[in-house]
Chains A and B, each alone.
Chain A
Amino acid sequence: MAYVATRGGERAIEQAERLFRQDLGTIDANRVETIRSTMPYLIDRVMGEASLYDEELAALALAQTGGELSEAVLVLRAWRTTQPRLSIARPVQQHEVLTQRRISAAFKDIPGGQILGPTLDYSHRVLATDVLEGKPFAPPAVDKAATPAPARQPSLADWQRQQGLVAPAKASNVPPENIPDLTREPLLFPASRAHRLQSLARAETGGVLALGYAAMRGYGNAHPTVNELRLGEANVVVRHPRGTEFAAGRVRVSQAEVTSKEKGGYLELGFAATFGWNEVKVIAAATLDLNSAAAPVGSPVHEEFYLYHTESVEASGFCIHFKLPHYVTFQSILDAMRDAKAKQAAAEAKGEAYVAEPEEEPVL
C-alpha cells in the first residue's frame, strides 16, 4: 500500500466541506422534524443499518448528509460509539410483537388470519403530479373496523412445529449478556447463528437485496416462499433497580421467515429481522439465511461472501478509499507501460517479435 503523504491543501479541504454544507443550507430543528415525520421508511432503513434506533438522530443524520445514505449510516454508527450501554433488554419474542402486518404466501389459513396492514403491495404506482400543480394529495381515511385487531398474533412456525412440518427447536437459554455481539467482537467464520442474524439485521439494504435476488433467480440452491412476514412494534423491556421489568418504549421491527422445499421430513426455513419496517431487506436476508447451509464457498450465498459484502460502513469505506491519492501505485503502472512500449518499439525496430512480460497486479 503506498500513498503520497498529504501536505498542505487545508484551505481547499475546508472550502470543499463548506461547499458541500452550503449546498444543503441551514439545518434547523424544523427540517429535522419534517424529515422524521414525513419519511418514516427512510428513517427506518437508516436506523436499521446504523444499528441505532432513534428517529430524531436518524433524521438529523439524513439532514446533515443531504440524504447520502452511507454517510448518514456512518455518522450514526460513529455517534453510537460515544454512548454507554446501560442495559440489555429482554429478548423480543415474535408472539409479543404488537403486530400490524402479517401475511403468509405459503399457507392460506394461518392461525390468527392474514392482515395486510400498511402496504402499497396491491396499489397502482402512480405519481401524484397534481401536487405540483397546487392540488395537495390528501389520502382518504381508513374505514376502521368495529373492533380492534388482536394486538398479538401467534407464531406460525410454532404452529407448524405442532403440525410436524418444521423441525423442533431447542429452547434458548443464553443469558442476554452472553449473546454474541458483533459490536464488541469480530465476525469470524463459520459465524455463529447469532452473529449471522445480527450482521444481517444491520446489513445494507441494497446489498442484501442484490445477493438475495441472485439467490432467488437461481444462483442459490433454494427458491424462497414467504412463510410469514410480520411488521410490528416491540416493547423495549428493561429492569428497574428494584427488579421490576417494564417497557421503556416501543421500536418498529420487521421479520420474515422464508421456506423452500422439504428436507429430511421438514420444511426448511430461513429467518431474518431488522429494526424498522423494511420488508425487502428481511425477505432477501431470510433468503440468504435459507441458502447458507449448502452454499459453496465463494458463492454469493455463502455466509462469508454475503456478510462481508453487505456490511455497509466497511463496503462504502473501501469503495470511497479509491478516491484517495494512489499516485505511487499508479506511477508504477505507468512506468511499466512506458517500459513495455519502449521495448516493443525497440523489438520492432530490430524486426523481432515482442513478447510482454507477465504483469503483477498492483497492490491497492
Chain B
Amino acid sequence: MFNETPSGGPGHGEMLDILARARPDRLKQHAEALLNDMGEITVVANRTGLVMVPMRDTVQNVDFHLGEVLVSEAQITDPAGQVGYGMVTGRDLERAMAMAVIDLSVAARGRDDATARFLAEEKTHLDHVDAERMRQVEATRVEMETF
C-alpha cells in the first residue's frame, strides 16, 4: 500500500514529492495542458486546512506535537473512480489542484511523455537547488581542533 508505483519512472511517492515542490508556474501550466485531454472531473475537496506535525524527542523517544502547518488540499475523481490528490504547504489552492490533476492523469492514463519530462525536469531543478544550498552549508564545516 505504501509508495506504490503506478507506472514507470519515479514511484508514486517520489512523484508526489516532486509535484508538491515543483515550481508553481510550471506545475499549473502542465496541469492546464493535461486538462484539455481529460474528461469530466468531479472535485471532492479543494480547501485549506492544517496538518499537525509531530516530532520525536531524541532523549526519551517520545513523540510530541511541534505545531500545525497550513496546507492546501485538492481531491478529484473521474467517472471511472480514479482519484487525483494534491497537498502542498501554504495557501495556494491552484497549486494543490494542479497537483491533483497531474496525479489523476497518471492514475487514469499512465505517465505520458510530457509528464515524464516535466517530472524529470523538476526533479533536476529541485536536486540542483538542494545541492547548491548544501555546497554553501559544506563551506561552513569546521574542524574543532583548529577552531
**Chain A residues in contact with chain B, CB under 8 A?**
47-48, 50-57, 80, 83-94, 98, 100-101, 108-109, 113-118, 142-151, 155, 157-158, 166, 169-172, 174, 176, 179-183, 193-198, 201-202, 234, 236, 238, 240-251, 253, 255, 257, 269-271, 273-275, 289
Contact = CB atoms under 8 A, between A and B. Distances in A.
Given A92-B55, A253-B55, A247 B64 contact: no
Main SS class of interface, B: mixed
Interface in B113-135: 130-135
A181 B85 CA distance: 27
B59 A56 contact: no
Nearest to A177: B52
A40 B141 CA distance: 23
B68 A51 contact: yes
A56 B88 CA distance: 14
A274 B66 CA distance: 6
B131 to A, nearest CB: 5
B49 to A, nearest CB: 4
Contacts of A271: 57-60
B52 A88 contact: yes
Given A84-B47, A149-B134, A249-B88, 18 more contacts: A52-B70, A56-B90, A85-B50, A85-B52, A86-B49, A86-B51, A91-B56, A146-B135, A148-B130, A176-B54, A236-B69, A241-B75, A243-B1, A244-B12, A246-B13, A246-B17, A247-B21, A275-B66
Given A116-B140, A148-B134, A244-B3, A80 B50 contact: yes
Interface of B: 1-4, 12-14, 16-17, 20-21, 47-71, 73, 75, 83, 85, 87-91, 103, 130-142, 144-145
Contacts of B138: 115, 144-145, 147-149
Given A54-B69, A54-B70, A193-B62, A142 B50 contact: no
Chief secondary structure at chain A's binding surface: mixed
B18 to A, nearest CB: 9
Of listed B3, B70, B132, residue having the most chain A CB within 10 A: B70
A187 to B, nearest CB: 13
B49 A197 contact: no
Contacts of B135: 144-149
Contacts of B58: 94, 155, 157-158, 255, 257, 269, 271
A148 B66 contact: no
B65 A181 contact: yes
A193 B141 CA distance: 34
Contacts of A270: 59
A159 B40 CA distance: 55
Contacts of A247: 16-17, 20-21
Give the top 6 A-B pairs by smallest Cβ distance, nearest first. Answer: A249-B89, A148-B134, A246-B16, A145-B138, A54-B70, A149-B138
Nearest to B130: A151
Question: Which residue, B66, B131, B132, B139, has most C-beta atoms of chain A within 10 A?
Answer: B66
Contacts of A101: 137, 140
Contact of B59 (A87, A150, A169, A181): A169
Contacts of B137: 100-101, 115, 117, 148-149
Contact of A53 (B13, B48, B63, B67): B67
